[in-house]
Amino acid sequence: MNDDVKSLMPKADMTRRGFVSAAVLATGYAMAVSPAAAGAISTDSQGLAAGAVMIPTPGGHPMPAYAAMPAGKGPFPTILVIQEIFGVHEHIRDVCRRFAKLGYLAVAPELYFRQGDPSVLTDIPTILSTIVARVPDAQVLSDLDAAAAWAAANGGDAERLGVTGFCWGGRAVWLYAAHNPKLKAAVAWYGRLVGNATPETPKQPVDVAAGLMAPVLGLYGGADQGIPQDSVEKMKAAVKLAPVKVDMVVYPDAPHAFHADYRPSYREAPARDGWARALSWFKANGV
């Protein structure tokens, strides 16, 4: 284990550039979703090496990230955790620690770090218009490759690589499963499936379905007002051409972000069932 991993800080509220509001420092959650619900899950770092790291990227700009892994000697199976639109705030860091408690190296790269810091913005429309809309898919895929390479060099097992993501990150999961031939398994939580092409987002998951290189589990809410069920049905039809196994589960009464235990959208039953399915999916597919 090299010095970068040994220096992982146990505090989860490390920030990307050293500038962040007092509210974010106090709660750990992005301002647009603060305060967190009283029942938000909090996973401690006991027995883990967990904290902020910097990941080299091909463009020469170090990428901030949060990583968590067991304190013992690896190599550990690796999960790339892709953020929601709010960036790598406390919920995403907690998900990393949950994986680490189960024996994984989990790393969540700050995929907007070139475009801005969503944690200090107070409303979702501003985050979408000023940051998310400016993030190219090509940049995201390259940065995920960089995170996977960092993990392989810092206690992770390159032969046991998985990816999961939520909302914006759920969409990126599908794209990454069609991008990295070394990926073993993927789990997408309520990621958008269809949409118009833009210079930054030239293809949507439905467009890459036939080219998936890793098995994908998709977890969706039947009451998700942002992801209509007809788009889920389109994806189900498209993945019939995929050369790998794909399973799409729809929880009939679940809204968008049903796994987000810090938000009113949280639904315990589908969140727990989805988490159990995710872990089984990774295990069954070699992660």
Q: Which residues are catalytic?
A: 167, 224, 256
CA pair distance 129, 256, nearest whole angstrom = 20
Beta strands in 76-215 (DSSP E): 76-82, 105-109, 156-166, 185-189
CA triple 247-264-110, angle to 5 deg:
65
Contact status, residue 226 vs residue 192, Cβ threshold 8 Å: yes
276 closest CA partner among 51, 76, 44, 98: 98
On the CB side of 137, how many CA atoms lie within 13 Å of its CA? Answer: 20
* Residue that is written with structure tokens 């392989």 in the block: 152
Give the amino acid at 184.
Answer: K
H or E segment and range at residue 4: helix 3-6
57 closest CA partner among 116, 171, 139: 139
* Residue that is written with structure tokens 């989990």 in the block: 106
